[in-house]
Structure 1
Amino acid sequence: MLIITSLTIMITLMLQPQTMLLGEEYDVRVINNFRDNSSLPLVIWCTSPQGDLGGRALQEGDDFEWTVKIDLWSAEYTCTMKWNTKRKRFEAFKVSRDSNRCGSTKKCSWSVREDGFYFSNDEVYWTKDFSWL
Protein backbone atom coordinates (compact mmCIF):
# COMPACT_ATOMS: atom_id res chain seq x y z
CA MET A 1 0.00 0.00 0.00
CA LEU A 2 2.84 2.37 0.89
CA ILE A 3 4.52 1.78 -2.48
CA ILE A 4 1.27 2.45 -4.38
CA THR A 5 0.70 5.68 -2.43
CA SER A 6 4.30 6.81 -3.06
CA LEU A 7 4.03 6.11 -6.78
CA THR A 8 0.67 7.88 -7.02
CA ILE A 9 2.09 11.00 -5.34
CA MET A 10 5.22 10.98 -7.53
CA ILE A 11 3.24 10.61 -10.76
CA THR A 12 0.81 13.33 -9.70
CA LEU A 13 3.67 15.73 -8.92
CA MET A 14 5.41 14.97 -12.22
CA LEU A 15 2.28 15.49 -14.34
CA GLN A 16 1.23 18.80 -12.77
CA PRO A 17 2.62 21.90 -14.49
CA GLN A 18 4.11 23.64 -11.47
CA THR A 19 7.22 25.56 -10.65
CA MET A 20 7.40 23.65 -7.36
CA LEU A 21 10.60 21.78 -6.59
CA LEU A 22 11.26 19.15 -3.97
CA GLY A 23 12.97 20.73 -0.98
CA GLU A 24 11.31 24.15 -1.31
CA GLU A 25 9.93 25.58 1.93
CA TYR A 26 6.69 27.48 2.48
CA ASP A 27 5.63 29.33 5.61
CA VAL A 28 2.00 28.72 6.53
CA ARG A 29 0.29 31.00 9.05
CA VAL A 30 -3.28 30.98 10.40
CA ILE A 31 -4.30 34.18 12.22
CA ASN A 32 -7.29 34.77 14.47
CA ASN A 33 -8.65 38.04 13.04
CA PHE A 34 -11.98 38.11 14.84
CA ARG A 35 -12.92 41.62 15.96
CA ASP A 36 -13.95 40.72 19.50
CA ASN A 37 -13.70 37.19 20.76
CA SER A 38 -11.81 37.84 23.96
CA SER A 39 -14.05 35.45 25.88
CA LEU A 40 -14.09 32.72 23.24
CA PRO A 41 -10.86 31.55 21.56
CA LEU A 42 -10.58 30.16 18.06
CA VAL A 43 -9.49 26.54 18.46
CA ILE A 44 -7.30 25.12 15.71
CA TRP A 45 -5.96 21.60 15.23
CA CYS A 46 -3.80 20.75 12.21
CA THR A 47 -2.48 17.54 10.70
CA SER A 48 -0.03 16.71 7.96
CA PRO A 49 0.75 13.53 6.04
CA GLN A 50 3.54 12.98 8.59
CA GLY A 51 1.21 13.34 11.61
CA ASP A 52 -0.29 15.90 13.96
CA LEU A 53 1.03 19.45 14.07
CA GLY A 54 -0.94 19.93 17.26
CA GLY A 55 -3.58 22.33 18.35
CA ARG A 56 -3.90 25.77 19.87
CA ALA A 57 -6.53 28.02 21.38
CA LEU A 58 -5.96 31.35 19.60
CA GLN A 59 -7.10 34.55 21.23
CA GLU A 60 -7.77 37.62 19.09
CA GLY A 61 -4.62 38.45 17.08
CA ASP A 62 -2.83 35.17 17.92
CA ASP A 63 -1.49 32.91 15.20
CA PHE A 64 -0.38 29.36 14.54
CA GLU A 65 2.41 28.88 12.02
CA TRP A 66 4.65 26.20 10.62
CA THR A 67 7.01 25.55 7.72
CA VAL A 68 6.21 23.06 4.98
CA LYS A 69 9.19 21.48 3.24
CA ILE A 70 8.08 19.97 -0.06
CA ASP A 71 8.75 16.26 -0.30
CA LEU A 72 6.81 13.27 -1.52
CA TRP A 73 4.61 13.36 1.60
CA SER A 74 3.77 17.07 1.92
CA ALA A 75 0.75 17.00 -0.36
CA GLU A 76 -1.71 18.59 2.04
CA TYR A 77 -1.98 20.10 5.53
CA THR A 78 -5.49 20.13 6.96
CA CYS A 79 -6.78 22.17 9.88
CA THR A 80 -10.00 21.92 11.82
CA MET A 81 -11.24 25.22 13.23
CA LYS A 82 -13.81 25.60 15.98
CA TRP A 83 -15.33 28.84 17.19
CA ASN A 84 -18.46 28.94 19.32
CA THR A 85 -20.88 26.57 17.56
CA LYS A 86 -19.11 26.81 14.18
CA ARG A 87 -16.71 24.16 12.95
CA LYS A 88 -14.79 24.05 9.67
CA ARG A 89 -12.18 21.73 8.22
CA PHE A 90 -10.01 23.19 5.47
CA GLU A 91 -6.77 22.62 3.59
CA ALA A 92 -4.33 25.15 5.01
CA PHE A 93 -1.69 24.10 2.49
CA LYS A 94 -2.09 21.96 -0.61
CA VAL A 95 0.89 21.58 -2.97
CA SER A 96 -1.16 21.55 -6.17
CA ARG A 97 -3.06 24.71 -5.15
CA ASP A 98 -0.53 26.72 -3.18
CA SER A 99 2.93 26.17 -4.67
CA ASN A 100 2.14 28.90 -7.22
CA ARG A 101 -0.26 31.18 -5.38
CA CYS A 102 1.95 31.60 -2.33
CA GLY A 103 4.23 33.62 -4.61
CA SER A 104 7.93 34.26 -4.57
CA THR A 105 7.78 35.01 -0.83
CA LYS A 106 6.52 31.45 -0.25
CA LYS A 107 4.15 32.82 2.40
CA CYS A 108 0.71 31.23 2.69
CA SER A 109 -1.34 33.15 5.25
CA TRP A 110 -4.92 32.67 6.40
CA SER A 111 -6.98 35.30 8.19
CA VAL A 112 -9.89 33.67 10.00
CA ARG A 113 -12.78 36.09 10.51
CA GLU A 114 -16.42 35.99 11.56
CA ASP A 115 -17.55 35.76 7.91
CA GLY A 116 -14.96 33.31 6.59
CA PHE A 117 -11.40 32.42 5.67
CA TYR A 118 -9.17 34.83 3.72
CA PHE A 119 -5.92 33.99 1.92
CA SER A 120 -2.87 36.19 1.29
CA ASN A 121 0.71 35.70 0.18
CA ASP A 122 1.83 39.09 1.52
CA GLU A 123 -0.52 39.74 4.49
CA VAL A 124 -1.52 43.05 2.87
CA TYR A 125 -4.06 41.98 0.25
CA TRP A 126 -6.56 39.34 1.36
CA THR A 127 -9.00 37.32 -0.75
CA LYS A 128 -11.93 35.48 0.75
CA ASP A 129 -11.61 31.80 -0.15
CA PHE A 130 -14.65 30.42 1.65
CA SER A 131 -17.20 30.92 4.40
CA TRP A 132 -17.71 28.98 7.62
CA LEU A 133 -20.70 27.14 6.14
Structure 2
Amino acid sequence: MDTSVRAGARVLDDPKNMLATVPLDRSPVLKLVATVLAPRAPGSELPPQDCLQIGQLLSGHASLVADEVRRLLDAGPGNSHLRPLTETVLTEARGRLSVPPRATLASVQNRARLVRALYERHDRLLSAQLG
Protein backbone atom coordinates (compact mmCIF):
# COMPACT_ATOMS: atom_id res chain seq x y z
CA MET A 1 0.00 0.00 0.00
CA ASP A 2 1.30 3.47 -0.89
CA THR A 3 1.69 5.46 2.33
CA SER A 4 3.03 8.64 0.77
CA VAL A 5 1.01 11.83 0.99
CA ARG A 6 1.09 14.43 -1.76
CA ALA A 7 1.73 17.96 -0.56
CA GLY A 8 1.76 20.20 -3.57
CA ALA A 9 4.66 19.03 -5.72
CA ARG A 10 6.30 17.13 -2.88
CA VAL A 11 5.61 13.65 -1.64
CA LEU A 12 5.89 13.20 2.10
CA ASP A 13 7.30 9.82 2.97
CA ASP A 14 5.20 7.99 5.57
CA PRO A 15 6.41 4.36 5.49
CA LYS A 16 4.79 3.50 8.83
CA ASN A 17 1.50 5.17 7.83
CA MET A 18 1.67 7.40 10.90
CA LEU A 19 -0.02 10.36 9.24
CA ALA A 20 -3.20 8.30 9.03
CA THR A 21 -3.33 8.04 12.84
CA VAL A 22 -2.38 11.61 13.73
CA PRO A 23 -5.43 13.80 14.38
CA LEU A 24 -5.48 16.87 12.18
CA ASP A 25 -5.02 20.14 14.04
CA ARG A 26 -8.05 21.78 12.51
CA SER A 27 -8.35 25.01 14.47
CA PRO A 28 -5.10 26.74 13.44
CA VAL A 29 -5.55 25.72 9.81
CA LEU A 30 -9.09 27.09 9.71
CA LYS A 31 -7.84 30.33 11.29
CA LEU A 32 -5.24 30.53 8.53
CA VAL A 33 -7.97 29.85 5.94
CA ALA A 34 -10.10 32.68 7.38
CA THR A 35 -7.12 35.04 7.39
CA VAL A 36 -6.17 34.24 3.80
CA LEU A 37 -9.75 34.72 2.61
CA ALA A 38 -10.36 37.94 4.58
CA PRO A 39 -10.45 41.17 2.58
CA ARG A 40 -7.03 42.80 2.32
CA ALA A 41 -6.24 46.41 3.08
CA PRO A 42 -4.39 48.17 0.26
CA GLY A 43 -0.65 47.65 0.61
CA SER A 44 -0.97 44.54 2.78
CA GLU A 45 -0.08 41.98 0.12
CA LEU A 46 1.68 38.79 1.14
CA PRO A 47 5.20 38.33 -0.18
CA PRO A 48 5.44 35.59 -2.85
CA GLN A 49 7.59 33.36 -0.62
CA ASP A 50 4.96 33.53 2.15
CA CYS A 51 2.26 32.69 -0.38
CA LEU A 52 4.21 29.66 -1.53
CA GLN A 53 4.81 28.42 2.00
CA ILE A 54 1.16 28.89 3.01
CA GLY A 55 0.05 27.20 -0.22
CA GLN A 56 2.23 24.18 0.51
CA LEU A 57 0.92 23.92 4.07
CA LEU A 58 -2.70 24.15 2.91
CA SER A 59 -2.04 21.63 0.13
CA GLY A 60 -0.64 19.08 2.56
CA HIS A 61 -3.52 19.61 4.96
CA ALA A 62 -6.11 19.42 2.17
CA SER A 63 -4.62 16.13 1.02
CA LEU A 64 -4.95 14.63 4.50
CA VAL A 65 -8.52 15.93 4.94
CA ALA A 66 -9.46 14.58 1.50
CA ASP A 67 -8.20 11.15 2.56
CA GLU A 68 -10.34 11.32 5.70
CA VAL A 69 -13.39 12.46 3.72
CA ARG A 70 -12.88 9.52 1.33
CA ARG A 71 -12.64 7.13 4.30
CA LEU A 72 -15.86 8.49 5.81
CA LEU A 73 -17.65 8.35 2.46
CA ASP A 74 -16.57 4.76 1.84
CA ALA A 75 -17.70 3.75 5.34
CA GLY A 76 -21.19 5.20 4.78
CA PRO A 77 -24.10 3.83 2.81
CA GLY A 78 -23.68 3.66 -0.94
CA ASN A 79 -26.98 5.44 -1.54
CA SER A 80 -26.30 8.39 0.79
CA HIS A 81 -27.69 11.73 -0.39
CA LEU A 82 -24.28 13.19 0.56
CA ARG A 83 -22.39 11.01 -1.91
CA PRO A 84 -22.82 12.98 -5.18
CA LEU A 85 -21.61 16.34 -3.85
CA THR A 86 -18.86 14.70 -1.79
CA GLU A 87 -17.60 12.83 -4.87
CA THR A 88 -17.59 16.13 -6.78
CA VAL A 89 -15.61 17.88 -4.03
CA LEU A 90 -13.11 15.00 -3.89
CA THR A 91 -12.68 15.04 -7.68
CA GLU A 92 -12.12 18.79 -7.57
CA ALA A 93 -9.63 18.35 -4.72
CA ARG A 94 -7.70 15.72 -6.64
CA GLY A 95 -7.48 18.05 -9.64
CA ARG A 96 -6.38 21.08 -7.66
CA LEU A 97 -3.86 19.13 -5.59
CA SER A 98 -2.29 17.62 -8.71
CA VAL A 99 -0.88 21.06 -9.49
CA PRO A 100 1.69 22.60 -7.14
CA PRO A 101 0.65 25.85 -5.45
CA ARG A 102 1.99 29.05 -6.97
CA ALA A 103 3.53 31.95 -5.09
CA THR A 104 0.42 34.14 -5.48
CA LEU A 105 -2.40 35.20 -3.19
CA ALA A 106 -4.95 33.84 -5.68
CA SER A 107 -3.34 30.39 -5.49
CA VAL A 108 -3.31 30.47 -1.68
CA GLN A 109 -6.96 31.54 -1.60
CA ASN A 110 -7.80 28.68 -3.97
CA ARG A 111 -6.20 26.21 -1.52
CA ALA A 112 -7.95 27.87 1.42
CA ARG A 113 -11.36 27.48 -0.24
CA LEU A 114 -10.52 23.84 -0.96
CA VAL A 115 -9.67 23.15 2.70
CA ARG A 116 -12.91 24.84 3.75
CA ALA A 117 -14.98 22.77 1.28
CA LEU A 118 -13.32 19.54 2.40
CA TYR A 119 -14.03 20.28 6.06
CA GLU A 120 -17.66 21.08 5.19
CA ARG A 121 -17.98 17.65 3.54
CA HIS A 122 -16.14 16.03 6.46
CA ASP A 123 -18.54 17.55 8.99
CA ARG A 124 -21.61 16.57 6.98
CA LEU A 125 -20.44 12.97 6.65
CA LEU A 126 -19.50 12.74 10.31
CA SER A 127 -22.83 14.22 11.36
CA ALA A 128 -24.69 11.72 9.17
CA GLN A 129 -22.77 8.83 10.73
CA LEU A 130 -23.43 10.01 14.28
CA GLY A 131 -27.03 11.08 13.65
Q: Report the TM-score when normalising by structure 1.
A: 0.28
Structure with larger RCO (C-alpha < 8 A, sep 6+): 2
| Higher strand fraction (1 or 2) | 1
| Higher helix fraction (1 or 2) | 2
Q: Report the TM-score when normalising by structure 2.
A: 0.28
